[in-house]
Amino acid sequence: MRHGWKPWLLLAAISLPAFPASAGMPIPQTVKCPIGGKSFTHTTTASYSIWGYRPDGKPYGSWEFPLEMPKCPGNGLVVFDRFTKEEIERLETLVESAEYRAMRDKETSYFLAAWLMKGLGRPPINVAWVTVQASWQADGQPELKKRYQSLYVDQIRALARSGDGVDWLLMQARAVNGLRELGRFDEAKALLASLDLTPLDVPVPEQKREAVPGSIGRRILNYDEVKEAKRKRDFLNQFKELGALIEARNSASEPLHMIPMREAAERCRSGADSLSRPDKDYCASDDMKKFMEGAAH
């Protein structure tokens, strides 16, 4: 994929990259619409920090996720990338279609982007990932979110496995979780059982360090190798946790033991009466008590 609007890294987001460790600040960005050439102002951020993820992949951080894409006034084109001349010609037909015009004010920007991506023949795995992110935008709209989840589950299950299969497996985690949140527990269990998780079951190598000339510090020679192994093991653990949620027939989108401690602690403090029994048990756990005591000092 060509380098487009950097904030919403598509397939890269599947691989959980490191993000800038700083608070998000709004900045205005002038965008020229690829169709018609009209310029408009889009508000985005230059940097942000992320400190964890929901089971569906939505980050917790210092900005709203997914990062909003520019949307051209008038024709409603979602500018999700930089486009070739040939793609712009194809986009003109797509955005003027009766189907797109009917969806423009009813669907989220990421859903529209996924629809346009499919029309341009972009890789199905990217289309599926953008549809997953469209479901994040539908938080608070249960029926819309369910429709998006059902769609991305079907898209993901249709993906062909390629390469070493790791990115394919990570997308399958989204499908397993989507089925779980939809309450389709038997299907989620069957899909999980069908997956060969061997590519994720790797040892984390020992760090290899060497002295930095002219400094008292030491650098890690195999940093990328260690980071990748940890990433795979983290996803292996996520599959195991999803399996436990499925066995418990838990469809919660934010089970407290699977979200960052700081987020879970806030929910423990503010929503005790409305919490599920598993979440109440987690709030009463020694680990959470210890975390909350430490945060209070």
pLDDT number for residue 8: 34
Per-residue pLDDT of the chain (297 residues; tens, 9 = 90+): 333 333 333 333 333 333 344 567 899 999 999 999 999 999 999 888 999 999 999 999 999 999 999 999 999 999 999 999 999 999 999 999 999 999 999 999 999 999 999 999 999 999 999 999 999 999 999 999 999 999 999 999 999 998 788 999 999 999 999 999 999 999 999 999 999 999 999 999 998 888 778 777 778 888 899 999 999 999 999 999 999 999 999 999 999 999 999 999 999 998 767 899 999 999 999 999 999 998 776
pLDDT number for residue 19: 38
What is the distance between the alpha carbons of residues 98 and 92, in angstroms, rounded to a whole number?
A: 12
pLDDT number for residue 22: 52
pLDDT number for residue 23: 63
C-alpha R_g of the chain: 21
